[in-house]
Amino acid sequence: MTVADCSFTVLDGAVCAPAGFVAAGIACGIKKSGAPDLALIASERTAAAAAVFTLNKAQAAPVLVSKERLAASGGRARVVAINSGCANACTGSDGLLAAHAMADAAAAAVGAGRAEVLIASTGVIGVALDRHRVVAGILSAANGLEAHGGAAAARAIMTTDPFPKEAAIAVESPHGRFVVGGIAKGSGMIEPMMATMLAVVTTDADVEPSLLQRALTQAADVTFNAISVDGECSTNDCVFALANGASGVKLGAADSGLLVEALRRVCEPLALGIVRGGEGATKLVSVRVTGAQSDAEAKRAARAIANSPLVKTAIHGADPNWGRLIAVAGRAGVAFALDHARVRIGDTILFADGRPFDERSEEASRHLQNDDIAIEVDLGTQEAGTARMWTCDLSAEYVRINAEYRT
Amino acid sequence: MTVADCSFTVLDGAVCAPAGFVAAGIACGIKKSGAPDLALIASERTAAAAAVFTLNKAQAAPVLVSKERLAASGGRARVVAINSGCANACTGSDGLLAAHAMADAAAAAVGAGRAEVLIASTGVIGVALDRHRVVAGILSAANGLEAHGGAAAARAIMTTDPFPKEAAIAVESPHGRFVVGGIAKGSGMIEPMMATMLAVVTTDADVEPSLLQRALTQAADVTFNAISVDGECSTNDCVFALANGASGVKLGAADSGLLVEALRRVCEPLALGIVRGGEGATKLVSVRVTGAQSDAEAKRAARAIANSPLVKTAIHGADPNWGRLIAVAGRAGVAFALDHARVRIGDTILFADGRPFDERSEEASRHLQNDDIAIEVDLGTQEAGTARMWTCDLSAEYVRINAEYRT
């Protein structure tokens, strides 16, 4: 089956939209505010599992434990447990014990094998995770698992996120209908360095673990790994995928392109939701780079632009300051030819062939009043390398959130 | 002569502290506010000249013109002309004509040869430089050149700088006394990528151009290239050095270490002044990285920390959030061993050997209330690589300044 043989429909719902998944989200007292801080997502049968983890070398205890269990199970899992309010990172051997306790409790609570579990934590780094609270929370959440629990789970994994991120699609294929759903959280320490936040994607398609892993990696590359809020890369980032086969639709190696596309269609709105809900963000900015010597160079330039505080503050102020885009492209460490470079904001070309068109500033400024901004920079090498990233503006609210995060 | 043979005394004054230099700073109408926007610095005799330029590939017209003239003169100059309020960058062939006119006017105004001139511009990118205003300004400034004009020149090159940056020292050496002075401006688009802002350093020592160039490059490397305000690298950055020999003290290849040290002692306070006066900055932060596999890896990690918005906002909020320092070190792309890593804020160790010491948070928080902050991160590789960078905190004021820069 290829993408062209199928039709895709956006659904309400999230991780429980595919058949055979249940979820819950509750408060177990990790967050002092009493807000929901524990999510459990379970499959009624053992599912193929795949994961993409942070490349940060200071990996949190739950990342280490999830890697270990995923390897031990040979890419199978039945349950995902996630707490917010504490990252359980840089917490030494006590942190590792707490993470194992969390995994053991989740596996036991749903009757899964010890290795059939994935866990994640998000919140402040370096604070001890209260093992008793999280274990009690998991047992209590397990009692509340239900087919409509996806929204509660999406809320329970939030930290500074202004809104929960959920997405789901149905795929009508020649072999039958299957569904893909997902949840994600942001919203600081978001950088495109592989896995970049927490997300869980579920599907009732029947997929082998190795194929699921390859497809997840590809889908994450053009979605979660193409966003940036602040150029940071967390100690805890993971994307998990579970495929439980409950739809009866089997996807094999020949359907790989379809599986990637189905995952991408769920991951992209989740990723864009992370950017839109980035700390202090008021605008979603698409950065497209063309005219690079290679796609890799284009991505490097797009990333530099997406992480530039001067670009992000100018966009925040609706200032069509295209000179900053040129300045960042020029310092991005990639081939760049000023004489042929071009900058477009919205539909307005502000600089081309070495010449500014400042008389068009007002037109570009009007585009920058929108919530969704499009920026395009051609590096002028006259080669065909392109890339796309999404980012948000940088506001005083970002500073306020992060200056006062722990107070 | 070596450094040990000499004594160093801090002087008042700046580019005119060495004998035989005159300067002026005036308003010529480039800035709409009517603030000073044109500086002229001249040597009474032709001086050896050296320069460090931005590595940005989108180089401004004055950078191209200064490079050309410096090459044509074989490392000699008599006058430096700098305007603020307009960067004359990304301004095409008209911009290049304006830059040449600026250089020609400055050379003619002081009776120098056509090649014996350096120019620089700073301000908004992509706006045409009014050639007639800048030429008229140069002629008028030339009439006002005086031995006490250094302070006015330091003011005239400011853009968003909250205060002017000046420094000078006297060196008592076995061969006699000579003086080094300098001015600099920041304060946004400051990144350690070689030359990082505008600065002019003068000395009345007698130095060959090639030695002056080598010494300036070395001094800039541990001063101007070791600071970061916002991780940006401008299209216009230059550091110029002029040595006119008016003291009669000749420095040869054997005095190279002394010359570097003398330049360093002027460049460091100028560089720290740029950070202290960084856009929206309220604190000067020294970032020291130890335990790296090499000095280059240490610098890479120090740079990542110095540019991290999460680190900079935490410092702004006086939050001893050492976990963010570990997270940045872990993603900096260098060897890192969490088990042996260590974080110190002021004199307080907050994380060592994989274990947090959160009970010391309050002590570290008290240090973060100071204006001058010291941070040290050991990467835990048990190798000897070290580096130091200076940065500032990230405040809501930075966002305000840069969101409203052109409005």
What is the CATH classification number for the domain harbouring A376?
A: 3.10.20.340
Q: CA of B194: which chain A residue's CA is closest?
A: A331
Residue B66's closest CA among B55, B50, B90?
Answer: B50
Helices in B48-130 by DSSP H: which ranges? Answer: 61-73, 92-109
Q: Do B351 and A126 touch (CB under 8 A)?
A: yes
pLDDT at A302: 94
Looking at the structure, do residues A240 and A333 belong to the same domain, yes or no?
A: no
Looking at the structure, do residues B260 and B386 belong to the same domain, yes or no?
A: no
Looking at the structure, do residues B293 and B174 belong to the same domain, yes or no?
A: no
Give the C-alpha separation, B243 to B15, whole Å: 11
Looking at the structure, do residues B253 and B345 belong to the same domain, yes or no?
A: no
pLDDT at B230: 64
Looking at the structure, do residues B77 and B99 belong to the same domain, yes or no?
A: yes
Q: Do A356 and B314 touch (CB under 8 A)?
A: no
pLDDT at A333: 87
Structurally, how many domains does chain A consist of? 2
Give the closest-approach CA distance of A374 to chain B in angstroms. Answer: 18
Contacts of B309 in chain A (CB under 8 A): 230-232, 309, 394, 398, 402
Q: Where are the beta strands (DSSP E) in A297-337?
A: none
Q: Which residue stretches of chain B have pLDDT < 50?
A: 190-196, 407
Judge whether A9 counts as a catalytic residue.
no
Q: Do A232 and B328 touch (CB under 8 A)?
A: yes
Residue B128's closest CA among B42, B32, B30?
Answer: B30
Contacts of B130 in chain A (CB under 8 A): none
SS3 label, residue B352: strand
Looking at the structure, do residues B20 and B132 belong to the same domain, yes or no?
A: yes
Rounded (5°) CA angle B397-B403-B405: 95
Which one of A276, A295, A318 terminates a domain? A276
CATH number at residue B16: 3.60.70.12
Q: What is the mean pLDDT of chain B?
A: 90
Catalytic pick from B54, B91, B122, B196?
A: B196
Residue type, A359: E
Q: Which residue stretches of chain A have pLDDT < 50?
A: 190-196, 407
Q: Are B381 and B290 spatial neighbours (Cβ–Cβ below 8 Å)?
A: no
Looking at the structure, do residues A307 and A355 belong to the same domain, yes or no?
A: yes
SS (H, E, C) B113-159: CCCCEEEEEECCCCCCCCHHHHHHHHHHHHHCCECCCHHHHHHHCCC
Is B224 touching A (CB cutoff 8 A)?
A: no
Helices in B181-255 by DSSP H: which ranges? Answer: 209-221
Q: Do A92 and B356 touch (CB under 8 A)?
A: yes
pLDDT at A91: 86
Q: Do A91 and B356 touch (CB under 8 A)?
A: yes
pLDDT at B406: 54
pLDDT digits (tens, 9 = 90+) for B285-316: 999 999 999 999 999 999 899 988 888 888 99
Contacts of B89 in chain A (CB under 8 A): 323, 326-327
Residue type, B395: S
Looking at the structure, do residues A180 and A326 belong to the same domain, yes or no?
A: no
Looking at the structure, do residues A260 and A371 belong to the same domain, yes or no?
A: no
Is B293 touching A (CB cutoff 8 A)?
A: no
pLDDT at B189: 54
Looking at the structure, do residues A14 and A152 belong to the same domain, yes or no?
A: yes
Q: What is the DSSP-derived secondary structure letter of residue B339? A: G
pLDDT at B232: 60
- What number is the ipTM of this complex? 0.72
Looking at the structure, do residues A306 and A181 belong to the same domain, yes or no?
A: no
Which one of B276, B303, B337 terminates a domain? B276
Which one of B276, B298, B321 terminates a domain? B276
Rg of chain A on CA atoms, in Å: 22
Contacts of A308 in chain B (CB under 8 A): 231-232
Whether the pTM exceeds 0.90: the reply is no
Q: What is the DSSP-derived secondary structure letter of residue A110? A: T
What is the domain range of residue A186?
3-276
Mutation to test the B interface, candidates A283, A324, A343, A378, most B Cβ within 10 Å: A324
Is A358 touching B (CB cutoff 8 A)?
A: yes
Catalytic pick from A54, A159, A196, A203?
A: A196
Q: Are A325 and A311 spatial neighbours (Cβ–Cβ below 8 Å)?
A: yes
Looking at the structure, do residues B32 and B103 belong to the same domain, yes or no?
A: yes
Between B58, B327, B405, which is nearest A329 by CB?
A: B58
Is A175 touching B (CB cutoff 8 A)?
A: no
